[in-house]
Amino acid sequence: MNKVYRETVKGLAAYCTEKMPGTNYDRFYVDELVKKHKSQEALDELITKVKSIEATNCEDFVKDFLMLVDTKNQLLKIQKEKELAEKLAEKQKAA
């Protein structure tokens, strides 16, 4: 890897950490993600797509990010967790 590529990866990691604080989508996640984008051009395209996400809150940004990076299983997991939390909240209201 060249220096420009490594700096680009660092920039993407910083951007993800800023937009998705308190999540697992940090430097370590980005390091694994970029292994699928070996060329500088592919990495630049990924960054352009990530920066084009227009979500106004962290939760929506995470959903859009996961759809973008094609981690369908993680998106389904988040959706199931949300549904479980909603059911629990309904049970607590009924009690």
Packed helices 40-51 and 3-19: angle between N→C axes, nearest 10 degrees = 20
More confident residue, 36 or 20: 20
The number of folded domains in the chain is 1
pLDDT per residue over 36-55, tens digit each? Answer: 888 999 899 999 999 999 99
Q: Which of 24, 6, 26 is nearest to 14 (CA)?
A: 26
pTM of the model: 0.69
User: Looking at residue 36, what is its pLDDT?
Assistant: 84
CA distance 15 to 26: 9
Confidence of residue 74 (pLDDT cuts 50, 70, 90): low
Q: Which two tokens stand for residue 17?
A: 């950490």
Computed on alpha carbons and rounded to an integer, the radius of gyration of the chain in Å comes to: 16
